[in-house]
Copies of this chain bind each other. A is one copy, B any other.
């Protein structure tokens, strides 16, 4: 009998939850659903996708955008700080590229205004891809199929870094993750969330997490000090926003990370020091809000956070055009 009662009980619970969901006026929630990419130039996207996966934009020929913002892994590398040319240890955790088009600015300190401005950074950063824009353009110009594709897309005879970063940024615009269970709930599917997940969301709001993690990306739209109530002992030397503004008040202020797909973007914080969502919620509660979540509360907030995992980007692995005889060769060991 028991196996027959269980589904019935579940159905009742679902009906009750449906009631709870229906009461909430989802359209007025402080987090809004992720919308699929719009006004996309598909020629640019396809070219940008290739460039995003092309390690020939690095000195070594080994590191591509996808190495540290891996689209199989939530748009991150899932290590505390990234590995750069010659295995240099990066100073900061690689933020996810997913939904990054929704960010107020790019990088943890917001030093790039938009995706296009960001895309050129790692290529020329000696600690990351360790190349230069001039060298990257030299490589691209020597690859016949790239030359044809750039001409098709831009209609100009000459390739420049502006075209490269435009194409990468256009591809990145497509890396949004709609259709999470939380968004399904926001859009009216009342039974998309469990009771615990909904209670977790209520806690997330009533405890104050929502003050910074709001908007479609549940973050990404402001800079905040890391360690408001209690100081955070970072394992990274990064100064934060003050490195950009030069203002002391911005010291240790970082862009609030998106919580979209946070289940996939471990480890957490700008120094990648925390491995689990439970610990991240605990630390955030104490340091930013002066709040000690009980174990049960913590579990509910974590359950809510896991409902923010959306549809991951879905596309064919790109096939890169081969180098030509005159293509400058990578220097992995020099």
Residues of chain A having any CB pair with chain B under 8 Å: 53-56, 60-62, 67, 70-74, 77-80, 83, 86-87, 89, 263-264, 266-267, 275-278, 312-320, 322-323, 325, 329-330, 332-333
Chain B residue nearest to A326 in the complex (CB): B276
Say which residue of B53, B278, B314 sits within 8 Å of A325 (CB atoms): B278
CA distance A333 to B60 in the complex (A): 19
Write the nearest CB–CB distance from A309 to chain B, whole angstroms.
8
CB distance from A312 to the nearest CB of B (A): 5
Q: A87-B87, A314-B316, A316-B314 are in contact. Are A323 and B266 (CB under 8 A)?
A: yes
Assess the A79–B53 pair: CB atoms within 8 A: no
User: A62–B77 contact, CB under 8 A?
Assistant: yes
Alpha-carbon separation in the docked complex, A79 to B60 (Å): 8
Residue of B nearest to A275 (CB): B329
Query: Chain B residues with Cβ under 8 A from A318's Cβ?
Result: 72
Q: Which residue on chain B has the smallest CB distance to residue A327?
A: B275
Please indicate the chain B residues that have their CB under 8 angstroms from the CB of A317 in the complex. 71-72, 313-317
Extra contacts, 19 of them, besides A53-B72, A78-B323, A263-B322 (Cβ < 8 A), are A54-B72, A60-B83, A61-B79, A62-B79, A72-B319, A73-B320, A74-B322, A78-B330, A79-B332, A83-B332, A266-B323, A267-B329, A275-B325, A275-B329, A276-B325, A312-B319, A314-B317, A314-B319, A315-B316
User: CB-nearest residue of chain B relative to A62?
Assistant: B83
- A80: chain B residues at CB < 8 Å are 332
A-B contact pairs, 8 of them (CB 8 A): A54-B72, A55-B73, A62-B83, A71-B317, A72-B319, A78-B330, A86-B87, A87-B87
Enumerate chain B residues within 8 angstroms of A73, measured Cβ to Cβ.
55, 320
| Residues on the B chain within 8 Å of A267, using CB | 329
Residues of B within 8 A of A329 (CB): 267, 275
Q: Which of A67, A74, A322 has the most CB of B within 10 A?
A: A322
Q: Copies per complex?
A: 2
- Please give, as numbers and ranges, the residues of chain B lying within 8 Å of A333 by CB-CB distance: 89
Q: Which residues of B contact A67 (CB under 8 A)?
A: 62
Closest A-B pairs by Cβ, 3 of them? A87-B87, A276-B325, A312-B319
Whether the Cβ atoms of A316 and B319 lie closer than 8 Å is: no
Contacts of A54 in B (CB 8 A): 72
A276 to chain B, nearest CB (A): 5
* Chain B residue with the shortest CB-CB distance to A324: B276
In whole angstroms, how far apart are the Cα atoms of A53 and B73 in the complex?
10
A48 to chain B, nearest CB (A): 14
Chain B residues with Cβ below 8 Å from A313 are: 317
Q: Bound complex: CA of A71 vs CA of B66, how far in Å?
A: 14
CB of A313 to closest CB in B, whole Å: 8
Contact present for B78 and A61 (CB under 8 Å): yes
In the assembly, what is the distance between CA of A60 and CA of B54, in Å? Answer: 21
When chains A and B are docked, how far (Å) is the Cα of A263 from the Cα of B323? Answer: 9
Of all chain B residues, which has the CB nearest A331?
B79
Closest to A85 in B: B87
Bound Cα distance A316, B72 (Å) = 10
Which of A54, A60, A73, A263: most chain B CB closer than 10 A?
Answer: A73
A73 to B54, CA, bound (A): 9
